[in-house]
Amino acid sequence: MDLRYGMNPRQAADATPVRPGRWPVRVVHGSPSYINMLDALNGWQLVREASRSLGRPAAASFKHVSPAGAAVAGPVDEVTAELHGVDRAEVGALTSAYLRARDADPKSSYGDLAAVSHPVDEELAELLAHVVSDGIIAPGYAPGTVDRLGRKKNGRFLVLEADPDFVPPEREARELFGLRLSQRRDEAPCAAELLENVVCGSLPTTAVQDLLLGLVVLRHTQSNSVCFLRDGATLGIGAGQQSRVDCTRLAGAKADTWWLRRHPAVRALAFRPGIRRQDRINWQIRFVEGDLTADENTRLSAALSQPMKELTAGSRAEWMARLKRVAFVSDGTLPFRDNVDHAQRHGVDHIAEPGGSIRSAEVEDACREHGIALARTGLRLFHH
């Protein structure tokens, strides 16, 4: 299969099945690039595993080989419903999963590759037609949905179909600078049994579900990585940082932004007719971040039909104190207690990490101090 281009447009690229004639995915519409295929294959593995582990339809929004967000089917809140103009009571399961996944970090999901665990129905196809997205991978498509999606982006929208019965080879390899690296495929199950070693506190069923989803998400996220989750959806993912605490701070900031977008002052931003959805999202996030430049302040004011209400430090702190029941998962051992100290600032009540650090006792002590339940999985989930 010839690819549109490689990592960069100047690089020619192609794809060949490891087993001749055994393709895990087929192109239904469009022309994928090298990175499109990386996003699609990682995204499909994530949603397939998440759906099997949690027993619900799953979705992910991928950018640059890591998920911007991931979720299983569940209730769509008022903020997300209003933003996308959907009826909360009528949203189908698969569409709800994608809406919740995309809402974790909607700025980063701009131009994503969507991945869903179940065949695309008319409802999801209609939603995708109205968001900025570059493509989708799914195990099938309802009649008429490919034609609907194929008209998107002037016919350039990518539609890929995954083979749900495909079994990958036991070993995987990559070639880099004249060297072939090979390893056994990581097939350790992400199951609830991994969370049985609770060294402090206790895990209610909802926390187990969130932590389990987090383990699946991080298996397919560029390491180092951590994620914050709540009610079956990611709130913030920190990926690819050299320092684990930097991952925690990055993901925590995204979780804060997700929560503050639900603040009354943010919801009161009255945009003028004609302001596009993505522009509204970007302005909401910049307003939440609180460091608008003079030029941005002028342009935001011009985009509003009435003056914005101030989001004061006191109001911000009071709102953040309401964020509870957040789960935190790390793909590798927490090396210092600083990750726990930062995590508790973002409503974290439950943590799962492999354990085994020389300072694991200090990490446990920090969890006890903050009243956080800690589960040690014994399973590292690095992904590169």
pLDDT digits (tens, 9 = 90+) for 355-365: 999 999 999 99
In a domain? residue 309:
yes
- CA nearest 357: which of 348, 366, 347? 366
Report the SS3 class of residue 352.
Answer: strand
pLDDT digits (tens, 9 = 90+) for 236-253: 999 999 999 999 999 999
In a domain? residue 180:
no
* Distances, alpha carbon 49 to alpha carbons 94, 109, 129, in Å: 15, 21, 26
In a domain? residue 36:
yes
Q: What's the pLDDT at 340?
A: 98
One domain for residues 248 and 371: yes
One domain for residues 358 and 213: yes
| Tokens encoding 63 | 């950018």
Task: For strands 2-3 and 13-14, give the pairing.
Answer: antiparallel
pLDDT digits (tens, 9 = 90+) for 38-79: 999 999 999 999 999 999 999 999 999 999 999 999 999 999
State the DSSP code for 156. T
Residues forming a β-bridge with 47: none
In the chain, what percentage of residues exceed pLDDT 90?
98
In angstroms, the CA 35 to CA 51 distance is 24
In a domain? residue 183:
no
One domain for residues 199 and 222: yes
In angstroms, the CA 251 to CA 229 distance is 10
Contact 57, 117 (CB under 8 A): yes
Span 10-31, average pLDDT = 96
Please list, in sequence order, all residues whose beta carbon lies within 8 angstroms of the beta carbon of residue 72, skipping any fewer than 6 positions away.
Answer: 50, 51, 54, 56, 57, 58, 59, 97, 213, 232, 233
In a domain? residue 312:
yes
Q: Which residues are catalytic?
A: 63-64, 224, 384
Tell me the pLDDT of the chain averaged across its residues: 96
In a domain? residue 182:
no
Span 379-384, average pLDDT = 96
CA 143 to chain centroid: 28
One domain for residues 195 and 206: yes
| Tokens encoding 49 | 């595993």
Q: Quick one: CA dihedral 313, 318, 321, 324, positive or negative?
A: negative
Strands (DSSP E) found in the chain = 2-3, 13-14, 25-29, 58-63, 66-72, 112-116, 133-138, 158-162, 171-176, 179-184, 198-200, 225-230, 233-239, 326-330, 348-353, 373-376
In angstroms, the CA 50 to CA 152 distance is 28
In angstroms, the CA 86 to CA 374 distance is 37
- CA nearest 99: which of 66, 57, 51? 57
Domain with 336 in it: 190-259+322-376
In angstroms, the CA 264 to CA 328 distance is 26
Give the domain CATH number at 120: 3.40.140.20
pLDDT digits (tens, 9 = 90+) for 102-116: 999 999 999 999 999
In a domain? residue 176:
no
One domain for residues 12 and 147: yes
CA 90 to chain centroid: 24
> What's the whole-model pTM score?
0.96
Contact 71, 104 (CB under 8 A): yes
State the DSSP code for 332. S
Q: What's the pLDDT at 132?
A: 94
pLDDT value at 100 more than 90: yes
pLDDT band at 302 (very low <50, low <70, confident <90, very high): very high
One domain for residues 8 and 46: yes
One domain for residues 326 and 303: no
Contact 228, 348 (CB under 8 A): yes
Please list, in sequence order, all residues whose beta carbon lies within 8 angstroms of the beta carbon of residue 276, skipping any fewer than 6 positions away.
Answer: none
Span 255-284, average pLDDT = 95
Q: What's the pLDDT at 310?
A: 87
